Amino acid sequence: MSQQLGGQPILILKEGSSRTRGRDAQGMNITAAKAVASAVRTTLGPKGMDKMLVDTIGDVVITNDGVTILKEMDIEHPAAKMMVEIAKTQDDEVGDGTTTAVVISGELLKRAEDLLEQDVHPTVIAQGYRQASEKAKEILNAIAIKVKPSDTEMFKKIAETAMTGKGAEASKDKLCDLVVKAVTMVADEDGIVDKDYIKVEKKVGGSTDDSEIIEGVLIDKERVHPAMPKKVKDAQILLLNAAVEFKKTEVDAEINITSPDQLQAFLDEEERMIKNIVDKIVASGANVLFCQKGIDDIAQHYLAKAGIFATRRVKKSDMEKLVRATGASLVSSIDAISGEELGFAGKVEERKVSGEEMIFVEECKNPKAVSIIIRGGTEHVVDELDRAIEDALRVVGVVYEDMKLVAGGGAPEIELSLRLREYAASVGGRAQLAIEAFASALEIIPRTLAENAGLDPIDMLVELRAAHEKGKKTFGLNVFEGKAEDMLKAGVVEPLRVKTQAIASAAEAAVMILRIDDVIAASRSAAPEGMPPEGMGGMGGMGGMPPGMGDF
């Protein structure tokens, strides 16, 4: 980029910088964003396919989850990175619908490209998209269906919809039960569900049907001493955030010992100090001790003698869950130990799960923290089940908080598409074109569901539109039978927030990409001094990449 001034070129950008302007910049960005959308498009819906991702060190991830795919893909292009951001936001907000959000955004950009070719100004398109996004939110709220907290069947249906297509079909009834039970247990009185209190433990071995819920906490540790009981009934639980060891002095002090009996007295005193700590624990009436810090060898011996089940170095997050599940207080000082600080569990037991010792804290009175063990034949199966359950937990939690849902199977998108077209006619002007483009773009969801199921997308869209024009708002696509049918009756339902968030973030990202008309990229920073010119020895460096690869 240089300006000619009296025959003298003036360089403004650093050498090696590149600049793309106007139509070219928009074209490049839109192409990159569409490429990302098409990468995840085939995973949408119950008949969606999976992706196998292999990272730089050869780790394999097999998944159907939009956000996982995009996070694992090594994406270089700045506009493509914005698409990944949409998926991440959707995941943080709702936990599901990541693929939907990215696919809608890609389609919005594709439709915008057609309008740009017709010389519609990007800001006009952006304004139309914003209006359409606002209107879509209104329409969605109007067609949302309310649920009651007691409607367990509906919650199961929501969990089932979130899990379908993620390899969890074989035992989805069992898994949906676990998910709904877990969410209802940890929900607070005001209806807020903090998913952090549901601990999901993955164990390879057994089958999916062996997955279970523990009404309490599962800790991946073992007791500190083999002489301790393996099982404690009616456990009085002490949670300690202090080390069961003798105190080292804070100040630097030296003790001069001149005779062996003085040394013996010193050691005895150390032992007596530890015995005092253990006596305090015993006196409180505790028979189970979970310690966040260390437990000394001598202390282990005394605790075992007193018949106390003890575990050390328990994670802080597990301690917080134990506080919620057992009702105990977290004691931070040895002197503060007393009977009032104890919590209760029906039983605490060390059991082997797939050959590893784990501690089960079960039969709590009203556990506000629970654990789910996921089992499966191979590591990849368990990982994918874990992702499916995470999505289901988040989605059920969202509905528990909002108490509103919409039908699935592309039903809300078709309804929005029809209503937005009516709205576009009332707006008029050039913005009408953009709102109509937005309406058409939303049809990508039912169209993709049909394509992924091997059905004819045009026939399906026509059938769905016809049903919605007759006022059947909850009609969506039954991909298993290839026909339009009432999704609410079929039990295919999604939280309202999944849709509102997906459409809002897709529209925002599309608008942001559309408004860019100039891409100024700085030159790649030079290799640090002392490195061979061809990058790191034998690695081929950037120089080894084929031309044009650095752009994506």
**Residue 9, φ and ψ in degrees, nearest 5:** -70, 135
The distance from CA 468 to its chain's CA centroid, rounded to whole angstroms, is 33
DSSP calls for 36-77 = HHHHHHTT-STTPPPEEEE-TT--EEEE--HHHHHHHS----
Structure token pair of residue 282: 């015993």
Whole-angstrom distance, CA of residue 548 vs CA of residue 148 = 55
Q: Strands, E, within 330-376: which ranges?
A: 330-331, 343-353, 356-362, 370-376
The distance from CA 274 to its chain's CA centroid, rounded to whole angstroms, is 44
Structure token pair of residue 302: 């005394």
Cα torsion 376, 378, 379, 383 to 10°: value is -40
Whole-angstrom distance, CA of residue 256 vs CA of residue 270 = 16
Task: Check if 55 is active-site.
Answer: no
Distances (CA, A) of 282 to 36, 147, 226, 236: 61, 50, 19, 11
The distance from CA 94 to its chain's CA centroid, rounded to whole angstroms, is 9
Catalytic, out of 89, 96, 391, 474: 391
Q: Strands, E, within 296-448: which ranges?
A: 309-311, 330-331, 343-353, 356-362, 370-376, 404-407
Catalytic, out of 63, 68, 89, 98: 98
Task: Check if 98 is active-site.
Answer: yes
Task: Please say whether the beta carbons of 434 and 115 come within 8 A.
Answer: yes
User: What is the residue type of 470?
Assistant: K
Catalytic, out of 50, 65, 91, 96: 65
- Residue 147, classed as helix, strand or coil, is coil
Catalytic, out of 68, 89, 99, 161: 99
Whole-angstrom distance, CA of residue 185 vs CA of residue 176 = 14
The distance from CA 391 to its chain's CA centroid, rounded to whole angstroms, is 7
Structure token pair of residue 42: 């085939």
Task: Check if 99 is active-site.
Answer: yes
User: What is the residue type of 341?
Assistant: E
Structure token pair of residue 244: 């069961």
Token match 């601990």: residue? 199
Q: List Cβ neighbours of 233 (8 Å cut-off, separation of 6 or more).
A: 346, 347
Residues designated as active site: 65, 98-99, 391
